[in-house]
Structure 1
Amino acid sequence: MVDPNTRAEQPERESSSDADLLPAELRSWMRLLSAAGAVEQQLRSRVKDAMGISHDEFLVLCLLADQPGSRLRMTRIAELLGRPKTRLTYQVACLQRAGLITKMSACGDRRGIEVTLTEKARHLLGESSRPLADAVSEAIARTAASLGNSPLRDILPGVPDTDRQDAQPQDPPG
């Protein structure tokens, strides 16, 4: 298991001609993937401790919680998470056994399956989401600081700019 206090290490770029193999956009994309992986790794154990479910199951609950009526078709969840449908089927079965979601045929399409949050899931998310959101903010700030990449801090509103002592968290636009 990765120590959540360990900063993500990035290899130093060499000054050889290989340094120009990747355009800035691809280097930024790779840094973003690395940062996301570091944040996800730090969040995994916290989700398990706080909610008793896997990180992937947590992502399903978050997607449902963010939808009107807290429901989505399984095919849409698979698309949004970029997961194979067979893997999602297993995760949904685990969540259903835990009493956190219900499954039913989609209206007008007997082949389609919709999943919906239960009251138990709403209660669990209500109790756990703020501490987990704070953990994400902390992990992003730590990862951004270790990368020396200020645009990464802009991903999440309210993440402090560790390069400036006078930086104040900003409210999200809107």
Structure 2
Amino acid sequence: MADPAESVPDLPPCPSASEAALLPAELRAWMILLATTGSIEQRLGPVLKDTLGVSHDEFLVLCLLAGRADGGLRMTRIAELLGRPKTRLTYQIACLQHAGLVTRRSVCGDKRGVEVALTEKGRRLFTEASPTLADTVNSGLARIGAEEREAMYGLLPEVAGGETA
């Protein structure tokens, strides 16, 4: 079976610095970052469907929950972190719950609060799929050219200089 990520066409190269003279460096770098993440998201989409049976947005929810050793997150916090409307998140959580990947429960002392957590099935599938997903992301990042990398480093000068935060 062919690798689903290979069926996604490469995006055209970003404009060179001379072609983007009207854009300030920060805006140009931001646009390159968006194009790069969009390209990786396109490559990741079919892999997510094959390995986890979820959409990219549902995957982002799973990533937030997988990073929580202490349990779950309130739905309002997930919506804030992902910059998503609460109504859309409610639908995504319902899909994940139907698949048996997350649970929802009321927050103690707050009858309107709802906390979401990964189920054991969700943890197991996420752990099993993580190497494949990481490989897909890495292959997308490997396609970033030197000019694009240099522009993105402009957004994070400490990364370009090798310093840690």
- TM-score scaled to structure 1, two decimals? 0.77
1:34 matched residue in structure 2:
35
C-alpha separation in 1, matches of 2:14 and 2:106? 49
Q: 1:102 to 1:56 in 2, by over 3 A?
A: same
Q: For 1:58, what is the secondary structure of its paired residue?
A: helix
Structure 1 distance, partners of 2:106, 2:99, is 20
Which whole-Å CA distance do the structure 1 matches of 2:69 and 2:108 have between them? Answer: 15
**Residue aligning to 1:44:** 45
Where do residues 14-163 of structure 1 align in structure 2 (5 Å cutoff)?
19-142=20-143, 144-145=144-145, 148-151=147-150
Instruction: Read off the aligned partner of 2:9 and give its amino acid letter.
Output: T
Query: Aligned-pair RMSD on alpha carbons?
Result: 2.6
Q: How far apart are 1:4 and its partner, in Å? A: 4.6
Shift of 1:53: 1.4
The one-letter amino acid of 2:118's match is: L
How far apart, in 2, do the equivalents of 1:92 and 1:38 lie?
Answer: 25
Within the alignment, does 1:10 sit opposite 2:22 as a pair? no
Distance, in Å, in 2 between the alignment partners of 1:30 and 1:14 is 12
Which structure carries more relative contact order (alpha carbon 8 Å, separation 6+)? Answer: 2
C-alpha distance after superposition, 1:106-139 (max 9, x if no partner): 1221111000110000110111011101110111
**Equivalent residue pairs, number:** 152
CA contact (8 A) 2:5 2:46 kept: no
**Distance verdict in 2 for CA 1:12–1:59, change over 3 Å:** closer
- Equivalents in 2 of 1:15, 1:117: separation in Å? 48
For residues 14 and 74 of structure 1, do their structure 2 counterparts lie closer, same or farther at Cα, with a shift above 3 Å needed? Answer: closer
Secondary structure of the residue aligned to 1:70 is coil
- Give % identity: 54
Structure 1 residue 57: Cα displacement: 1.0
What displacement does 1:2 show? 8.7
After the TM superposition, which of the residue ranges 6-15 and 41-50 deviates more from structure 2?
6-15
Classify 1:118/1:15 alpha carbon distance in 2 versus 1 (closer, same or farther; 3 Å).
closer
TM-score (norm 2): 0.81
